[in-house]
Amino acid sequence: MSSLSVALPLSLDASDGFVMIKNLKALMRQNLKMLLLTIPGERIMEPDFGVGIKTYLFANFHEGVQGAIETAIRNQCGLYMPLISIVDIQFYIIDPDTHSAAFRILYSIPNLGVKDLLEFTI
């Protein structure tokens, strides 16, 4: 089967050399994760690309900050990943003393008839 992209983080695979992504659902999931984690200005030739979710790491999580994060996610997805439709974004403060928070993003890919959930902690 042909591959669409290399899986990140890089890891070795005996058959392909590196672990490869071989379906569109996994590729879109990885691309969404990279969009969320990339800080604007970090990607060469695309200075506006990225949400920069880690830049909010030491912010006091209140409704205003959560609204700004949600707006940034929706705007960036609309601009750079128009095939993805954000269904819901949920925020969870894990430990205010260590400045950690969790995010759950429910999204769909209408052209593929797929719904998926991306969860991560910063």
Predicted confidence (pLDDT) per residue in 15-38, tens digit: 888 999 999 999 999 999 999 999
Q: What is the pLDDT of residue 40?
A: 95
Residue spans of the domains in the chain: they are 35-121
CA distance 66 to 59: 10
Q: What is the pTM of this model?
A: 0.87
**Which residue in 96, 104, 97, 98 sits closest to 120, CA to CA?**
104
Of 122 and 44, the structure prediction assigns the larger pLDDT to: 44
Q: Please say whether the structural domain 35-121 has been given the CATH code 3.10.450.40.
A: yes
Question: What confidence category does residue 96 fall into, taking pLDDT thresholds of 50, 70 and 90?
Answer: low
CA distance 13 to 36: 27
